[in-house]
Amino acid sequence: MKNTKVIPPGIELIEAPSVWEQGYSGEGIVIAVLDTGCDSDHFELKDQIIDGYNFTTDDNGDRTIFEDYNGHGTHVCGTICAAKNDEGVIGVAPKARLLVLKVLSGQGYGDTKWVTEGVRHAKNWRGENGERVRVISMSLGGRENNPELHQAIQEAIQQDILVVCAAGNEGDGKDETDEYAYPGAFPEVVQVGSVNLRGEISKFSNTNCKIDLVAPGEEILSTYLNNEFAVLSGTSMAAPHISGAAALIIEQSEKEFDCLLSEPELYAQLIKRTVSLNYSRRFQGNGILKLASSLVTAKEDHKITAAK
């Protein structure tokens, strides 16, 4: 695997290569990943990490060590922005940067307080050159509707950060029953459900009226611990496809519109690139992300015609 260069099929499915061909790869866009940390020595990711912080009790609570002892966070990071090189795999936005915020321990669990602190850290973080977080990616969830976490997310969104969350994996394959996992079920976030590589809704994917869109979440190939790769499934794998895609959309749209996108404008550009599937909106929201579906229409938004 280390001697091959692979575009994972999920990244093909959302048509990311068509955006790369247009010259966009998410360059310089900072995405905060709140997860189990990241393998900072992985050859696909080590140059993508701009900063990191540990909110957990791992490593005796040393805030400077955000290593991943689980694999989940490293897998998510790879889908977002594994480097474009002659080895391994490539992520959706291979030139985006990662702010790794470790809010889940090596066992894969965390305290809601850690997640809340992570969101606030992402909102307030600034890089050495004034960089700021544009997207927060959370492939995590729980049953608790925590007001403090909700408020932290609302504050981040008010600062024009797009918050992308996995829908959760408690689905029963029926759209008449609702399953909610937080923070995904908060109305302000982008809640991402899962489809398989054939574009069919994953049975495990939570269904509810707040699903925004779906992305590939089954048999997803990405980076793993110790310079390895793994195939994992879950809405945790679907969400980072959207987080990486948001970086591509930011880079493309802000160049074409010559202005910074607000969070509502970025959300609109994201949803504009969805294609409805033959499912209830409780399954699919607005549909599956297809990045090429809007490549030729972006500039048309700003056309002006003479008054008659």
The catalytic residues are 35, 72, 236
- Among candidates 247, 195, 226, 192, which has minimal Cα distance to 74? 226
Q: Are 188 and 154 in contact (CB under 8 A)?
A: yes
Amino acid at 199: G
Amino acid at 224: Y
Q: What is the DSSP string of the chain?
A: -TT--B--HHHHHTTHHHHHHTT-S-TT-EEEEEES---TT-TTTTTTEEEEEE-SSGGGG-TT----SSSHHHHHHHHHH---SSSSB--SSTT-EEEEEE-S-TTS---HHHHHHHHHHHHH-B-TTS-BEEEEEE---BS---HHHHHHHHHHHHTT-EEEEE--S---S-TTS----BTTTSTTSEEEEEE-TTSPBPTTS---TT--EEEE-SSEEEEETTTEEEEE-SHHHHHHHHHHHHHHHHHHHHHHHTSPPPHHHHHHHHHHTEE--SS-HHHHTT-EE-GGGGTTTGGGGG------
Q: Are 177 and 207 in contact (CB under 8 A)?
A: yes
Q: Find where tokens 């321990």 sit.
A: 105
